[in-house]
Amino acid sequence: MHGFIKTTITLLIATSTALALAAATAFAQEAGSAQSTAETLTLEQAITIALKENRSGKNARLEVGKAQDQTAAARTRRLPNFKLTSSISQPLSTFGTTFEKGAFGTYSGIGPVPSEDTVIQSSKTPTAVVVGQITQPVTQLHRINLQIKQLEKANEISQAQLSAKEQAIVNDVKHAYYAILQTQGSFEAAEANIKLYRELDRVTGEYVLQQVVLKTEHMDVQTKLARADYEVLTLANQLASQKEQLNNLLGRDVTTDFRVSDAAETAQVMMRETDLSQARERALAQRPEIREAQLRVDQAKLEKRIKKSEFIPDVSLTVNYASTFSSTNFLPRSLSGVGIQVEWEAFDWGRRKREIAEKQRSISQADNSLLETQSQVLMEVNSRYRRVQETCQLLRIARLAQTAARANVQIATYKYRLEAVLLKDVLMAQTVLADSNNEYQKALLSFWTAKADFEKAMGENQ
């Protein structure tokens, strides 16, 4: 009875293991066939698509367009200003104006004008007045030109912010792409482990029939095979999620299927020989943060000049025309004239002087921010450069360890077939290989990420 129960339990475990293996195998085959039919997306293609279609990048380009519109609108203030004012009024009551006798003088042959006291009564009929004015700024042109230059600096700042945004997008795309490569490498390594475990399962099954090994050892192999299939399933799901994230960065449908370029080829990329001093110079010349900080300094200087221009009186040339529409002929039908309009605040209690002093302090702040930005950029370049060196060396170590572990598994498997080693030795070698594969993929991702961060620190857009 005890033997029957043990045999039944063994059959149940074997059946459940077989079902799990079949499900995982079918999923892996389905994922493999889908990958074979999907388009191949290279890193350069992904970056090109992201720079064009990424939604946050589109918003940044729209901000540049808005800044350009503001500058174009400011330029129109240098042109004559046409203003038309009209009003229609309905008197609610009348009023009378009395002109005494001789109010306008006494003339020979005519006598006094008017000849007697005269009362003129207003009418309740509606009255319309239309006033047109053309104003051409003169002295204000200096201030307007400074304001236009300030808006042009703001436009250049928007361009610098767009460059920074594009560099961030490129860096995010590289991180996402490299993460997919890392997961894809782990997926391929896990599939290789499955092949080894299946071969080990076949050999162990034969040994069980020959009563060379125990059934429990065969069950251990089947358990590890099931665990390897589960790992393949997990990596396949992780790979699908990472592809969705990359599709979102590319600004396209997240369900778009694709496959990345061969990870083995990308793994051969090493850190290119780059002189650190040259990298610093490139960063100082290309980083949009430094460009933006310099533009902030120029903008602060323009603000001070604009504030100084307020001491100049506002002088404008004006052309005025007024026309009235009423039932009486007492008021003139139209008036016109050309003149000069002057506005000047002669005394301001020292307000403008204080405002100019405040603008000077803003210039000092902008200068300090520029120096701080340059220092931060240089420190980032140095740090990223050192990180690339470290990850490059770590990748070499991980590759050597992986090669050695793969050779040990092959040797152990061969010896196991010859009954020269125990099953536990093969399982141990296989575990070491799995760990070395995992460490190699981590080192590879660390290197790719460090390389992408170093390129971003230098201000590279690709």
Query: CB within 8 A of 53, min separation 6: which ones?
Result: 250, 251, 252
Distance CA 307, CA 310 (A): 6
pLDDT of residue 274: 64
Query: What is the second-level CATH architecture of the domain 9-80+139-312+348-457?
Result: Up-down Bundle (1.20)
Q: What is the pLDDT of residue 13?
A: 41
Can you give the residue ranges of every domain in the chain? 9-80+139-312+348-457
Please identify which residue in the block is written with the tokens 């990596």: 235
pLDDT in the model for residue 300: 94
What is the block-wise mean pLDDT of the chain (462 residues), using blocks of 10 residues? Answer: 39 41 47 61 90 92 93 93 88 81 81 82 80 91 92 93 92 91 84 81 81 80 86 91 93 90 50 73 91 94 92 90 70 81 88 92 95 94 91 89 89 82 80 86 87 88 70
- pLDDT value, residue 1: 40
